[in-house]
Amino acid sequence: MLDLNKFVEWAKEKDTRIVSIEIGENVYNPANPNHRWGIKIWVYDTDICEGQHVMSVDEINLEGKKERQEKEQYEKLKAKFEGVGV
């Protein structure tokens, strides 16, 4: 059973955190794509400008997601400017 109180606790840990929960018919749930009824949970932190869809608090890893994106961007810029004279 989904414990929504854990999302409340997660959001209360920082005043920059937001949790949006959508429940009902025609709500797409990636875990059950063939069902018409679903739950969609979006977590977001305005401090790091990052969010993700999850089904449990244990799945939340906004810092890790942000770090992966920054590293990817760094690698692209490094490849673009590598070897270019100053």
pLDDT tens-digit map of 60-81:
999 999 999 999 999 999 998 9
How many other C-beta atoms can be found within 10 angstroms of the C-beta atom of residue 10?
Answer: 15
Predicted confidence at residue 58, as pLDDT, reads 95
pTM attached to this predicted model: 0.76
- The tokens of 15 are what? 């005043």
Residue 59 DSSP one-character state? G
Phi, psi of 5 (to 5 degrees): -65, -30
Judged against a pLDDT cut of 90, whether residue 86 lies above it is answered with no
Query: Where along the chain do its domains lie?
Result: 4-81
pLDDT computed for residue 35 by the predictor: 72
Q: pLDDT (tens digit, 9 = 90+) per residue, 31-58?
A: 667 777 788 899 999 999 999 999 999 9
